[in-house]
Amino acid sequence: MQAHMAYKPMIQNIYKSSVELIGRTPLVQLKRVANGLGANVFVKLEYLNPSGSIKDRIALKIIKDAEKQGKLKPGISTIVEASTGNTGIALSYVGTMLGYKVRIFVPEGVSTERVRIMQRYGASVEVIGADEERRLKERSISGGVVEIPGRLKCAEIEKKERDIFWARQFSNPSNTLAQIETGQEILDVLGEASGFTASIGTGGTLLGIGSALSRANKDMKIVAVEPASAKLPLLKEYQKLGKIVRTEVSGGIISDIIEAGIVDEILQVTDDEAIAMAHRLVREEGLFCGISSGANVLAALKLAEKLGRGNIVTVLPDSMDRYLSEEHYTT
């Protein structure tokens, strides 16, 4: 009779903090929604980061770089930022975990879930720059436009108060650098990509990942995705100006994208289109991702159909749990 063998559990990594879980998210090939396309379509599950979005990466990078530069002191400094939600949540989470007070300024139209998540992490949240008439007319939200009143508030606080660090996600180089690391994670798995799609918010995701992937394949196509119902589709408006615009509260990474000239196409996606694709991803692929993920995947499918070959990649920036009361395509 075989002797009983004691069960020995397999122990992998034991982490000292949930912050160590940021990044290294899985890459999944879409099957059902991409059925019949000649190209492979892959999605990076960024909603599996600890606070539920890709912005955990930039929050950690911005804070760590600021500490190295002597701009942040744990237990003393307060981090301030304007956000439509995900960066605010990420800074609330990472900032609190690393010993900072966090104040976030959000525009009206940001879902109740997002505000409550920030507050649960311990951040102070203030709605600013409200324009109810505009919100009702424009279902989707372009972060680069509606965040400007909040940015003005951050600039004012930074000048008046002591021990304030304004994260400046819209212009901070650490934003783009964090996403270059995301792009390298994709390359580590796929080797190269034929195309990449991403929504434009601050632009860090598109510029960072796009730059990294382009180094491996200079012929790779990059599609920028923007809300169709937004009054000012940001990248298109900047391109129309025919010049690079940088101010204390605008420009930044968006201007960097135009200077780099890496975008091959701008695709505008409606709220209804983004919502419908997000719902399909949940039902058909089992991916509990948010509405911007639906927009990104829709763009990826269109690019895959156009190219008919290679690997098309996009990211699923956040989870569906922050869209349960209101569904909007928010960048």
* Domain extents in the chain: 18-50+173-323, 55-166
Residue 289 has pLDDT above 50, yes or no: yes
Residue 232 has pLDDT above 80, yes or no: no
Residue 83 is a catalytic residue = no
Residue 139 has pLDDT above 70, yes or no: no
Distance between CA 121 and CA 94 in Å, rounded? 9
Looking at per-residue pLDDT, the higher value among 300 and 234 belongs to 300
Average pLDDT for 12-36:
95
Confidence at residue 110, expressed as pLDDT on a 0 to 100 scale: 81
Residue 244 has pLDDT above 70, yes or no: no
Distance between CA 158 and CA 152 in Å, rounded? 10
Burial 284-308 (b: 16+ CB within 10 A, else e): ebebbbbbbbbbbbbbbbbbbeebe
Residue 108 has pLDDT above 90, yes or no: no
Distance between CA 117 and CA 51 in Å, rounded? 9
What share of the chain in percent tops pLDDT 90?
Answer: 71
pLDDT digits (tens, 9 = 90+) for 191-227: 999 999 999 988 999 999 999 999 999 999 999 999 8
Residue 148 — very low, low, confident or very high, per pLDDT cuts 50/70/90? confident
Instruction: Decide: helix, strand or coil at residue 95.
Output: helix
Residue 1 — very low, low, confident or very high, per pLDDT cuts 50/70/90? very low
Q: Is 34 exposed, middle or buried (0-12, 13-18, 19+ CB in 10 A)?
A: buried
Q: Are 211 and 260 in contact (CB under 8 A)?
A: yes
Confidence at residue 133, expressed as pLDDT on a 0 to 100 scale: 36
Q: Taking the C-alpha atoms of 226, 168, 117 and 178 in order, what is their torsion angle to the nearest 10 degrees?
A: 80
Average pLDDT for 157-184:
97
The one catalytic residue among 55, 61, 153, 302: 55
Residue 331 has pLDDT above 60, yes or no: yes
Distance between CA 219 and CA 42 in Å, rounded? 18
Confidence at residue 125, expressed as pLDDT on a 0 to 100 scale: 97
Q: Is 271 exposed, middle or buried (0-12, 13-18, 19+ CB in 10 A)?
A: buried
Residue 275 has pLDDT above 60, yes or no: yes
Confidence at residue 56, expressed as pLDDT on a 0 to 100 scale: 98
The interaxial angle of helices 86-97 and 112-120, nearest 10 deg, is 10
Chosen CATH of 18-50+173-323 out of 3.40.50.10190, 3.40.50.300, 2.40.110.10, 3.40.50.1100: 3.40.50.1100
Q: What's the chain's average pLDDT?
A: 89
The one catalytic residue among 292, 293, 302, 319: 292
Residue 138 has pLDDT above 80, yes or no: no
Q: Are 196 and 314 in contact (CB under 8 A)?
A: yes
User: Matching CATH topology for 18-50+173-323 and 55-166?
Assistant: yes
Q: Which CATH architecture has domain 55-166?
A: 3-Layer(aba) Sandwich (3.40)
Question: Residue 130 is which amino acid?
Answer: A
Q: Which of 115, 102, 107 is nearest to 147 (CA)?
A: 107
pLDDT digits (tens, 9 = 90+) for 294-317: 999 999 999 999 999 999 999 999
Q: 278: which DSSP letter?
A: H
Residue 218 is a catalytic residue = no
Q: 316: which DSSP letter?
A: -
Confidence at residue 140, expressed as pLDDT on a 0 to 100 scale: 55
